[in-house]
C-alpha cells in the first residue's frame, strides 16, 4: 500500500481521531513531486472537452462562475488578482496525480472521488464556503491563508453562482506553504485566499445524498423488476361518486406494488455499478487492433497490465465491477482481479485462462492497458 501523506500519524490514528471529527493541519505532508504543473498546463487541461473546469471571478463585490472548456484567450483577459481556475479529475489525465490520489487508499476506493487542482494569483479565492464531503487541501507552490470555522450557521448568499456563506466567523487561521496539507471534515466552513500565486490540490470524497441514492436505486430496480398480473376488479360495484378514487382500488394497487422487493445482494449490485459508473464526460479508447487470446496472454506474461487512469474497479464478495459494468468471470479468477482492483496493476506473469479472458474483455474496452502502453 502506498505511504499515506499523514505526517507522523498512522491511518488508524487519523481515522480514529480526525476523520469526520475535526480538522488536521499536516506540515510537509508531501515532499516529493514528480510533476509540478505551471498555469499553462492547467489552461491546456481546461481547454479540453473531456475535462471539467470552472473559472471563478470576483469583481466589484460580485461573484461569477463559468464552466469550461475555455479558449486560452479567456485567461489573457483576466486581471492580476481575484480569480481562480479549477480543474477536476486531474488524476484521469496525469499519472503522478493518480499516484498521489492512490496514497489515500487506506480509505475504500468507493469513497474516493478525484483530485482537483485550482490555481489562483495573489488575492484569488472562491469565497467562504463549506463542502458536504471530506476534503484534503494540499498546497503546491506559493502560499495560501486558510481560515476555518465549526459554525452551525451555513446560510448561503442568495442567487450567488457559488455556494458562498452569507456569514463567516473564522475561529482558526493558518498559512500553508508548498507541501503542507489541511484536512477538513464535511460541512466545516473555510476560506482560502492566495497570498502568492500557487495551487491547491484537493482530494475529495464521494458523499451522495440519500435523495440521490434513492433516485438512482429506483432507476436500477426499474430495469430489473418483473411484476406479474394485470389490474382486475371482477367484484366492482356501482358508484354514486365517480370522481372518487375507491379505497379498494388503492388497496389492489398497493398489493400489486408489494411485489417490488430487494435484499442486501440487490443493494450490493446497485452500489458496485453506481459507484464505478464513469462521469458523463469520461470515455475510453480501446486498441485499434485486438489480439487473439493467446497473443494477449503472451503480452501479459511479458508486460503485465495497468488500469487506465480513468478506470474505477471495485468488488464485493460476489461480483467484480468496472466502470459501471459487472464482469462475467469465474469465481476462481476473483482473487487475481481483486489484486488488480486493489493495486491498479498486475505484474508480468502467466495467468490462467479465466483471468486472461476477463483482462482481454477489459482491454478491448480500453479499461486497462499493457503496462508499457499506458498513456502519459
Contact 342, 102 (CB under 8 A): no
* Gap between the Cα atoms of 251 and 161, Å rounded: 46
What is the fold of 11-205?
Jelly Rolls (2.60.120)
**Residue 1: predicted pLDDT:** 59
Give me 99's grid cell.
499516484
Percent of the chain at pLDDT above 90?
93
**Residue 93: predicted pLDDT:** 96
Contact 103, 2 (CB under 8 A): yes
Question: Nearest-CA neighbor of 118 among 185, 188, 68, 164?
Answer: 68
Find the range with the poorest average confidence among 46-55, 140-149, 281-290. Answer: 281-290
Residue 374 has pLDDT above 80, yes or no: no
DSSP codes, 197-265: SEEEEEEEE----HHHHHHHHHHHHHTT---------TT----S-TTS--HHHHHHHHHHHTT----HH
pTM of the prediction?
A: 0.92
Please write the tens of the pLDDT for every residue from 65-104. Answer: 999 999 999 999 998 899 999 999 999 999 999 999 999 9
At 258 the three-state DSSP class reads: coil
Please write the tens of the pLDDT for every residue from 327-356. Answer: 999 999 999 999 999 999 999 999 999 999
CATH 2.60.120.650 placement within the chain: 11-205
Phi, psi of 373, deg, nearest 5? -100, 5
Residue 363 has pLDDT above 70, yes or no: yes
Residue 118 has pLDDT above 80, yes or no: yes
Read off the pLDDT of each residue in 275-279 and give the average, rounded to a whole number: 95
Phi, psi of 143, deg, nearest 5? -135, 150
In degrees, to the nearest 5, what angle opens at C-alpha 26 toward C-alphas 23 and 27? 145
**Residue 280: predicted pLDDT:** 87
Mean pLDDT, the chain, rounded, equals 95
Read off the pLDDT of each residue in 240-255 and give the average, rounded to a whole number: 95
Residue 258 has pLDDT above 80, yes or no: yes
Please write the tens of the pLDDT for every residue from 129-162. Answer: 999 999 999 999 999 999 999 999 999 999 999 9
**Residue 205: predicted pLDDT:** 96
Please write the tens of the pLDDT for every residue from 72-82. Answer: 999 999 988 99
DSSP 376: -
Residue 301 has pLDDT above 70, yes or no: yes
Read off the pLDDT of each residue in 214-224 and give the average, rounded to a whole number: 94
Residue 376 has pLDDT above 50, yes or no: no
Read off the pLDDT of each residue in 41-51 and give the average, rounded to a whole number: 96
* Gap between the Cα atoms of 374 and 371, Å rounded: 6
Read off the pLDDT of each residue in 117-140 and give the average, rounded to a whole number: 97
Contact 346, 339 (CB under 8 A): yes
Read off the pLDDT of each residue in 114-125 and give the average, rounded to a whole number: 97
Please write the tens of the pLDDT for every residue from 158-211. Answer: 999 999 999 999 999 999 999 999 999 999 999 999 999 999 999 999 999 999
Amino acid at each position: 500500500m502506498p505511504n499515506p501523506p499523514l505526517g507522523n500519524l498512522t491511518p488508524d490514528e487519523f481515522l480514529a481521531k480526525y476523520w469526520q471529527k475535526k480538522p488536521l493541519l499536516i506540515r510537509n505532508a508531501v515532499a516529493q513531486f514528480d510533476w509540478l504543473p505551471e498555469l499553462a498546463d492547467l489552461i491546456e487541461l481546461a481547454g479540453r472537452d473531456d475535462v471539467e473546469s470552472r473559472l471563478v471571478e470576483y469583481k466589484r463585490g460580485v461573484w461569477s462562475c463559468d464552466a469550461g472548456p475555455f479558449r486560452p484567450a479567456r485567461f489573457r483577459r483576466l486581471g492580476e488578482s481575484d480569480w481562480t481556475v479549477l480543474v477536476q479529475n486531474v488524476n484521469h489525465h496525469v499519472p503522478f496525480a493518480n499516484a498521489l490520489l492512490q496514497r489515500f487508499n487506506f480509505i475504500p476506493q468507493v469513497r474516493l472521488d478525484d483530485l482537483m487542482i485550482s490555481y489562483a494569483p495573489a488575492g484569488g479565492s472562491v469565497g467562504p464556503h463549506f463542502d458536504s464531503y471530506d476534503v484534503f487541501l494540499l498546497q503546491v507552490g506559493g502560499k495560501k491563508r486558510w481560515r476555518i470555522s465549526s459554525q452551525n450557521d451555513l446560510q448561503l448568499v442568495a442567487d450567488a453562482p457559488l455556494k458562498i456563506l452569507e456569514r463567516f466567523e473564522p475561529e482558526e487561521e493558518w498559512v500553508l506553504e508548498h507541501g503542507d496539507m489541511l484536512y477538513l471534515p464535511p460541512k466545516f466552513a473555510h476560506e482560502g485566499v492566495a497570498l502568492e500565486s500557487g495551487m491547491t490540490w484537493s482530494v475529495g470524497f464521494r458523499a451522495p445524498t440519500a435523495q440521490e441514492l434513492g433516485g438512482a436505486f429506483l432507476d436500477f430496480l426499474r430495469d430489473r423488476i418483473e411484476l406479474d398480473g394485470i389490474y382486475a376488479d371482477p367484484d366492482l360495484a356501482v358508484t354514486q361518486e365517480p370522481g372518487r378514487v375507491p379505497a379498494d382500488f388503492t388497496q389492489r394497487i398497493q398489493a400489486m406494488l408489494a411485489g417490488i422487493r430487494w435484499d442486501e445482494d440487490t443493494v450490493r449490485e446497485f452500489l458496485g455499478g453506481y459507484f464505478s459508473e464513469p462521469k458523463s464526460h469520461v470515455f475510453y479508447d480501446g486498441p485499434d487492433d485486438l489480439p487473439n487470446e493467446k497473443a494477449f496472454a503472451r503480452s501479459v506474461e511479458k508486460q503485465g497490465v495497468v488500469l487506465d487512469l480513468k478506470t474505477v474497479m471495485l468488488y464485493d464478495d460476489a461480483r467484480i465491477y468496472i466502470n459501471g459494468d459487472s464482469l462475467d468471470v469465474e469465481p476462481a479468477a476473483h482473487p487475481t482481479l481483486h489484486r488488480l482492483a486493489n493495486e491498479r496493476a498486475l505484474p508480468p506473469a502467466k495467468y490462467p485462462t479465466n483471468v486472461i479472458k476477463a483482462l482481454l474483455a477489459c482491454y478491448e474496452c480500453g479499461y486497462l492497458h499493457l503496462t508499457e502502453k499506458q498513456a502519459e
